[in-house]
Every structure is written in structure tokens, then in C-alpha cells.
């Protein structure tokens, strides 16, 4: 599963970082995907982080 954060949408609530700190980090006031963690296992915490992102900045792409 590919995880990405759209920096143009994220407004820095940091909720993703609290929900799934192994994948998301907080840098310069915005949420980012940790380097090397863009490709992750399917994880309910990551799905929840994406669903609950208040600006819908997190995209999950499932590999076919
Ligand atoms: S939850 Fe969404 S808006 Fe908040 S820091 Fe993460 S990506 Fe940005």
C-alpha cells in the first residue's frame, strides 16, 4: 500500500502522527510520510489516519 500526504491540503493538525507514528512524522508544521515508509503493509491504524485526516490530505493506493 502506498501512502502519501498532499502538502497542499495538509494543514498540520498532526492527528495522523498521533494515530500512526511509525509511518507519519511532523515536519515544519505539517504531516509527512516518513522516508522509507511510503510503501507499507495494510494497517488499520494507517487506514484510520487517512479516514480521519480533517483535510483529507492522506492518500492510500493499494497495489493491484
Ligand atoms: S491528519 Fe491530515 S491535516 Fe493533520 S497533519 Fe496529518 S495529513 Fe495533515
Q: Do the bridges between strand 30-33 and strand 24-27 make them parallel or antiparallel, or are there none, so unpaired?
A: antiparallel
> What CATH number corresponds to the domain at position 48?
3.30.70.20
Q: Do the bridges between strand 30-33 and strand 2-5 make them parallel or antiparallel, or are there none, so unpaired?
A: unpaired
Domain count of the fold of the chain: 1
Instruction: Name the residue of 9, 15, 37 whose CB sits within 8 Å of the most ligand 1 atoms, as the mutation to test its pocket.
Output: 15
Q: Convert the pLDDT of each residue in 7-40 to its tens digit.
A: 999 999 999 999 999 999 999 999 999 999 999 9
Grid look-up 480533517 returns 54
Which range of residues forms the domain containing residue 11?
A: 2-61
pLDDT at position 24? 98
Ligand 1 atom showing the smallest separation from residue 58 Cα: 7
- Write the DSSP assignment of 5-42 as a string of letters: E-TTT-----HHHHH-TTTEEEETTEEEEPTT-SB---
pLDDT at position 30? 98
Ligand 1 atom showing the smallest separation from residue 14 Cα: 5
Mean pLDDT over residues 45-50, rounded?
97
Grid look-up 498532499 returns 6
Q: Is the pLDDT of residue 60 over 90?
A: yes
Tell me how far the alpha carbon of residue 40 lies from the centroid of ligand 1, in angstroms. Answer: 18
Q: Is the pLDDT of residue 64 over 70?
A: no
Amino acid at each position: 500500500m502506498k501512502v502519501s500526504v498532499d502538502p497542499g491540503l495538509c494543514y498540520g493538525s498532526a492527528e495522523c502522527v498521533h494515530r500512526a507514528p511509525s509511518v507519519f512524522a511532523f515536519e515544519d508544521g505539517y504531516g509527512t510520510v516518513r522516508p522509507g515508509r511510503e510503501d507499507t503493509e495494510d494497517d488499520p491504524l494507517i487506514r484510520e489516519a487517512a479516514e480521519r485526516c480533517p483535510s483529507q490530505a492522506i492518500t492510500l493506493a493499494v497495489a493491484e
